[in-house]
Amino acid sequence: MDALPWLCGWIGINLAKCRFDIKLPNFLTRPGEPGVKHRVISPINHLILSVKSLNHMRQKWSQTITERARSYWTQERTRQLLGDKKLPLLPGEAPVLLRALGLLKADASLPPERMRKYRQINHMLAAVRPALRELAATHRRVDLVDAGCGRSYMTMLVGWWFRQQGVPVRILGIDRDDKIIGQCRRRVEAAGLDDIVRLVAADLQVDLGAVWERAFGQPLGPLHGLFALHACDTATDDAIVLAVAHRAAFIAVAPCCQAELAAAWARRQQEDPGSPMMPLWGSPHLRRTAAATMTDTYRLLVLRACGYEASATEFVEAVHTPKNTLIRATRRNEGDATAARRYWDLCAVLGGVGIGLGERLLSSGSG
Ligand SMILES: C[S@@+](CC[C@H](N)C(=O)[O-])C[C@H]1O[C@@H](n2cnc3c(N)ncnc32)[C@H](O)[C@@H]1O
């Protein structure tokens, strides 16, 4: 069930039906009036009672799913689910999170259609966990951004992981889709992560400092990490620009569809029909797949030029998602002029076409 709409609906209906006996203070009752008990709900009392009821409901809901998961996820069922694989997030151990994310059903089972996402987020967590451990070990409190957070799987998963480690963290999820952000705020509350996770509807080309301050009520200090899982097309590059601008210590991006370079190559067919690149430029399928690979290669070079040790790996088997490349980068120095030169050399080899990220982060022809 998505974003627990039933929970919110249930609370809304029950609060609407509720009447409370309230003992009013003396100064609100007229002399001679018999009762100090009134069937009245003032707006303020209503609010207090609503918050109390909501917290109570949340606790009850967490207890119920935890108990159901405890009896459902026997060793045998867990073994059937995972086989010989070791995943960091077991349904029997994180039922509240997984239910709030909409991955577990109300009976605590994990339906086959949610398996793909379950595996994907597990592999992503496993891939970034060493870097998260390093951040947890080196900072008193870790500040992170999930760029293009969408349904906030990673935002909440990472928040949950830090909570398990007992390390203070603040995570800002940004996505331009305000409807999804609204739904996910309820997920965050249901998972009990609303004290450490904030979600904001905004474009990634945003003033991150201002958004952070509005979300957390405190200015953003050094940004420790930024991740972006399948942010569409050049949104991955917007995420990288944000991270580099804020000197993020760690960056993890799993790129999505990439249209920018393929479109530029398609235009180059007309401009330069004699190019040795024509067999590639003229084949839509090869053009698309080669452009995706070359875009990620450019990204590695740009990140290295900006002072990051960067690598690209497969974070989940292709059967789970074809978008399975993970670019990880750790800040090591102030920049690498050789990597910048290699970026421009590669552009020249590939028909003089680079990507916008290169233009944005490297000064033309140099580092
Ligand atoms: C494929 S979804 C992935 C969401 C999430 N990271 C996940 O893995 O489940 C891509 C998300 O990026 C968001 N997005 C794309 N371009 C964006 C931009 N320029 N600014 C903010 N969000 C953007 C979309 O609204 C969408 O929710």
64 shares its domain with 133: no
Mean pLDDT of 49-66: 82
Report the separation in Å between the CA atom of 152 and the middle of ligand 1, taken as the mean of its atom positions.
Answer: 10
Report the separation in Å between the CA atom of 147 and the middle of ligand 1, taken as the mean of its atom positions.
Answer: 7
264 shares its domain with 328: yes
Has residue 107 been placed in a domain?
A: no
Percentage of the chain modeled with pLDDT above 70: 83
Mean pLDDT of 282-298: 95
Mean pLDDT of 324-331: 93
139 shares its domain with 287: yes
213 shares its domain with 332: yes
- Asked if residue 45 has pLDDT above 70, the reply is no
Has residue 122 been placed in a domain?
A: yes
Higher pLDDT, residue 200 or 56: 200
Mean pLDDT of 35-57: 61
- CATH number, residue 155: 3.40.50.150
pTM for this predicted structure:
0.83
Whether residue 245 contacts residue 163, with contact meaning beta carbons closer than 8 Å, is answered with: no
Domain that holds residue 168: 118-361
Whether residue 235 contacts residue 205, with contact meaning beta carbons closer than 8 Å, is answered with: no
Percentage of the chain modeled with pLDDT above 90: 69
Mean pLDDT, rounded, of the chain: 86
Mean pLDDT of 175-179: 97
| pLDDT given for residue 185 in this prediction | 96
Task: Label residue 80 exposed, middle or buried (CB < 10 Å: 0-12, 13-18, 19+).
Answer: exposed
53 shares its domain with 153: no
Mean pLDDT of 105-125: 91
28 shares its domain with 122: no
Ranking 112-121, 156-165, 238-247 by mean pLDDT, the lowest is: 112-121
246 shares its domain with 177: yes
Has residue 240 been placed in a domain?
A: yes
134 shares its domain with 201: yes
User: In ligand 1, which atom is closest to the CA atom of 177?
Assistant: 25
Has residue 89 been placed in a domain?
A: no
Question: Residue 11: which pLDDT band, with cuts at 50, 70 and 90?
Answer: low
Could you give the CA distance from residue 157 to residue 151 in angstroms, rounded to a whole number?
11
Whether residue 257 contacts residue 237, with contact meaning beta carbons closer than 8 Å, is answered with: no
| pLDDT given for residue 46 in this prediction | 61
Which string of DSSP letters, residue by residue, matches 84-153?
Answer: T---S--TTT-HHHHHHTT-S-TTS---GGGHHHHHHHHHHHHHHHHHHHHHHHH-SSEEEEEET-TT-H
Has residue 82 been placed in a domain?
A: no
Has residue 85 been placed in a domain?
A: no
Report the separation in Å between the CA atom of 297 and the middle of ligand 1, taken as the mean of its atom positions.
Answer: 22
Has residue 239 been placed in a domain?
A: yes
Ranking 15-29, 94-108, 180-194, 282-296 by mean pLDDT, the lowest is: 15-29
Residues with C-beta less than 6 Å from any ligand 1 atom: 148-151, 153, 174-177, 180, 203-204, 229-232, 235, 238, 256
55 shares its domain with 140: no
- Asked if residue 248 has pLDDT above 50, the reply is yes
Q: Which of 124, 128, 175, 204 is the best mutation target for the ligand 1 pocket, counting ligand atoms within 8 Å of the beta carbon and taking the most?
A: 175
39 shares its domain with 136: no
- Asked if residue 207 has pLDDT above 50, the reply is yes
User: In ligand 1, which atom is closest to the CA atom of 202?
Assistant: 21
Distances in whole angstroms, Cα of residue 242 to Cα of each of 49, 90, 210, 360: 41, 33, 13, 11
Q: What is the pLDDT of residues 292-309, one digit of tens each?
A: 999 999 999 999 999 999
Residues 6+ apart with CB under 8 A from 324: 254, 314, 315, 316, 317, 318
Report the separation in Å between the CA atom of 16 and the middle of ligand 1, taken as the mean of its atom positions.
Answer: 35
Could you give the CA distance from residue 252 to residue 232 in angstroms, rounded to a whole number?
15
Has residue 90 been placed in a domain?
A: no
Report the separation in Å between the CA atom of 175 and the middle of ligand 1, taken as the mean of its atom positions.
Answer: 6
Report the separation in Å between the CA atom of 186 and the middle of ligand 1, taken as the mean of its atom positions.
Answer: 18
Mean pLDDT of 15-20: 44
9 shares its domain with 156: no
Report the separation in Å between the CA atom of 149 and the middle of ligand 1, taken as the mean of its atom positions.
Answer: 6
Whether residue 124 contacts residue 315, with contact meaning beta carbons closer than 8 Å, is answered with: yes
- Asked if residue 323 has pLDDT above 80, the reply is no
60 shares its domain with 136: no
Q: Which of 103, 149, 187 is the best mutation target for the ligand 1 pocket, counting ligand atoms within 8 Å of the beta carbon and taking the most?
A: 149
User: How many domains does the structure of the chain reveal?
Assistant: 2
Q: Which of 12-16, 84-88, 235-239 has the highest mean pLDDT?
A: 235-239
What 3-state class would DSSP assign to 167?
Answer: coil
| pLDDT given for residue 258 in this prediction | 82
- Asked if residue 113 has pLDDT above 60, the reply is yes
* For ligand 1, atom 23: residue with the closest CA: 148
* For ligand 1, atom 26: residue with the closest CA: 150
| pLDDT given for residue 47 in this prediction | 61
User: In ligand 1, which atom is closest to the CA atom of 256?
Assistant: 1
Last residue of a domain, which of 69, 94, 110? 69
